[in-house]
């Protein structure tokens, strides 16, 4: 069912790299070298009860350091999707100047169909199979869709049993008690807040009251909302959505109240508050707001709704939330789109900081981690605007220019 979409994702990633590489004067063999993964591991995981699942790990580019990228458990995982995401991770780590490469892994499975015992067995067998190819100086996986600190802890334990390595630097995204980093859960949302702040500073809009709508009030969207409301009171959140629809209040929403409500596994369709109305996800996207945060799924803005998008600033906290045709249209209409490879890089930055702490056997406080995240994101935005302004190109093109310069 997802084959076409994921092939398009791979083609889209490769297409922009080819286009920007050509603009920068790279020869076809040099561009081909940027696109070709170093290794593609494709294998089958068989559980003791006979259930069997296809599994993958693509190691795309390690010129700048060990491969880095998550492992997802999802029924639509396939080789093309994993290769596309590994490719984009190489460019993301380069764009924010981390000494890491790009990788991605996944198992084609619906974890809801498995017991906890089966999920643990699947996790351990994945780590056992990949053990010769990963490790603190080779490839450092992390959690992704449907994986978390508990699953990573199992993988770390299996990797330790298989290799004898006790550094905990083989994976990131671990639980705090098992060598994880402070600040990691909030990192992607916090990074998005920092990036938006720098964008508004550049456009001299940082002292104005601006309205905000958040599409996708999950982990990333909720952390973005609560941190933004605390640090930037002039950003007024007026709408936020989950899978059931969106809440809307033109006088402003309380991010912490929404976060607490969602933490109790409640859906927005049942949320009640004075002055509040309930709208669809599609209506949220079309709201007349200053800033639209896309923190949900990919391809939410496409040819069907692109002409109704009214926000001036669009922040891609999700991966690929705007398809190519919609992106090109919105740029011609003067929209400013902060691309995902910069906007949502906070997660991989703090993953890198976790890896550094493990390698050096040290622990940083949350404030120390946040200060380092702040520096990486602010520097990345500074370099992004320098390249965009010099070359008179949109921010997405500039982000890939920065990355290609560091990789080629």
Q: Transcribe 106-144 into DSSP letters.
A: EE---GGGS-HHHHHHHHHHHHHHHGGG-BTTTEEEEE-
Q: In whole numbers, what is the pLDDT of the chain averaged over residues?
A: 95
33-91: pLDDT as tens digits: 999 999 999 999 999 999 999 999 999 999 999 999 999 999 999 999 999 999 999 99
350-386: pLDDT as tens digits: 999 999 999 999 999 999 999 999 999 999 999 999 9
Distance (Å, whole) CA 316 – CA 292: 9
pTM exceeding the 0.85 threshold for the entire prediction: yes
Give mean pLDDT, residues 140-160: 96
Active-site position among 22, 51, 68, 104: 104
Q: What is the pLDDT of residue 5?
A: 47
Q: What is the DSSP letter of 168?
A: S
| Alpha-carbon torsion angle 340, 344, 345, 351, nearest 10 | -140
Residue 343 has pLDDT above 80, yes or no: yes
Instruction: Work out the pLDDT band at 298, boundaries 50, 70, 90.
Output: confident
Q: At what angle do helices 149-163 and 116-130 cross, to 10 degrees?
A: 40
Instruction: Work out the pLDDT band at 10, boundaries 50, 70, 90.
Output: confident
Q: What is the pLDDT of residue 1?
A: 36
**104 belongs to the catalytic site:** yes
200-223: pLDDT as tens digits: 999 999 999 999 999 999 999 999
Minimum mean pLDDT range among 67-81, 115-129, 145-159, 260-274:
260-274
Residue 169 has pLDDT above 90, yes or no: yes
Q: What is the pLDDT of residue 99?
A: 98
Distance (Å, whole) CA 362 – CA 137: 18
């Amino acid at each position: 069912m997802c084959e076409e979409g994921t092939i398009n994702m791979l083609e889209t990633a490769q297409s922009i790299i080819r286009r920007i590489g050509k603009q920068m004067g790279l020869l076809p063999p040099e561009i081909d070298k940027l696109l070709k993964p170093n290794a593609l591991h494709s294998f089958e995981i068989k559980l003791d009860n006979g259930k069997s699942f296809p599994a993958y790990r693509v190691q795309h580019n390690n010129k700048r350091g060990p491969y880095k990228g998550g492992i997802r458990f999802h029924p639509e995982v396939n080789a093309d999707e994993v290769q596309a995401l590994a490719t984009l991770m190489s460019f993301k780590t380069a764009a924010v100047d981390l000494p890491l490469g790009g990788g991605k892994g996944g198992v084609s499975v619906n974890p809801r169909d498995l017991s906890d015992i089966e999920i643990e067995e699947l996790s351990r067998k994945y780590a056992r199979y990949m053990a010769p190819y990963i490790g603190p100086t080779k490839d450092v996986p992390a959690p992704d869709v449907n994986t978390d600190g508990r699953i990573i802890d199992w993988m770390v334990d299996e990797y330790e049993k298989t290799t004898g390595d006790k550094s905990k630097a083989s994976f990131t995204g671990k639980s705090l008690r098992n060598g994880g980093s402070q600040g990691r859960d909030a990192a992607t949302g916090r990074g998005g807040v920092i990036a938006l702040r720098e964008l508004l500073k550049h456009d001299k809009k940082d002292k104005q009251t601006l309205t905000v709508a958040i599409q996708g009030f999950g982990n990333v969207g909720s952390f973005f909302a609560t941190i933004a409301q605390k640090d930037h009171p002039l950003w007024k959140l007026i709408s936020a959505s989950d899978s059931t629809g969106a809440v809307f209040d033109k006088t402003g929403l309380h991010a912490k109240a929404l976060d607490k409500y969602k933490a109790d596994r409640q859906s927005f369709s049942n949320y009640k508050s004075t002055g509040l109305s309930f709208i669809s996800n599609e209506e949220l996207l079309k709201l007349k707001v200053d800033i639209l945060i896309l923190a949900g799924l990919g391809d939410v803005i496409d040819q069907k709704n692109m002409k109704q998008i009214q926000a001036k600033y669009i922040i891609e906290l999700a991966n690929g939330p705007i398809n190519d045709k919609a992106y090109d249209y919105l740029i011609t209409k003067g929209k400013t789109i902060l691309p995902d490879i910069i906007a949502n890089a906070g997660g991989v930055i703090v993953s890198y900081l976790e890896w550094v702490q493990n390698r050096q056997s040290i622990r940083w406080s949350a404030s120390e981690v946040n200060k380092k995240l702040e520096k990486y994101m602010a520097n990345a935005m500074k370099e992004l605007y320098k390249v965009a302004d010099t070359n008179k190109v949109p921010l997405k093109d500039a982000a890939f220019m920065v990355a290609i310069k560091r990789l080629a």
